[in-house]
Amino acid sequence: MSVRRLRQFCVVAGTAAALTFATSTGAWANWTSYNTVWDQGKLSQQWVDESYNEINFTGCYNVYTPKSIDVALWQQIDWGSDVRHDTSTLTNCFNGSGSKSTATESGLPYDSYYFEVDKIAGGCISCTVSVNTVNVDTTLAD
């Protein structure tokens, strides 16, 4: 392959890759999931946001004590290590099927985010939590 053809190939391949990343729909601003099971270390789907994040767990159930789930907010860094922002301990969602726990963080830069279930019941590695609704809301006005 000549140098000219190789250069043309690289330009075409680079353009195709850039268009693929630019039009990716893998991350949305708000999302909701229903009837999910979470274990320690599980990652949420990603979302794009700036300034404000609200993570809501409604209707949590596990058989372990303490009745708690710790969620850590992460900022995805494309060309480096992801940045951990805050960890919140959620407990109210264990008070019944309609009970909601909320973790919030503000002052965040525009980027992609996700959360990780950091601990369940204070650090039980084999524990799981069933959750009726998990919701990420990036709107401060509600």
Residue-wise pLDDT tens digits, 82-123:
999 999 999 999 999 999 999 999 999 999 999 999 999 999
Distances (CA, A) of 61 to 6, 15, 54, 105, 129: 58, 48, 21, 25, 6
Distances (CA, A) of 73 to 4, 8, 57, 112, 115: 47, 42, 14, 11, 4
Average pLDDT value for residue range 35-48: 95
Whole-angstrom distance between the N-terminal and C-terminal Cα of the chain? 59
Select from 62, 47, 57, 59 the least CA-distant residue to 103.
Answer: 57
Which is more confidently placed, 27 or 60? 60
pLDDT the model gives residue 139: 87
Binned at pLDDT 50, 70 and 90, residue 6 comes out as: low
Other Cβ atoms within 10 Å of 93 Cβ, number: 26
Q: Is-contact 117 64, C-beta < 8 A?
A: no
Binned at pLDDT 50, 70 and 90, residue 23 comes out as: very low
pLDDT the model gives residue 29: 82
Alpha-carbon span 74 to 51, nearest angstrom: 14
pLDDT of 72 > 60? The answer is yes
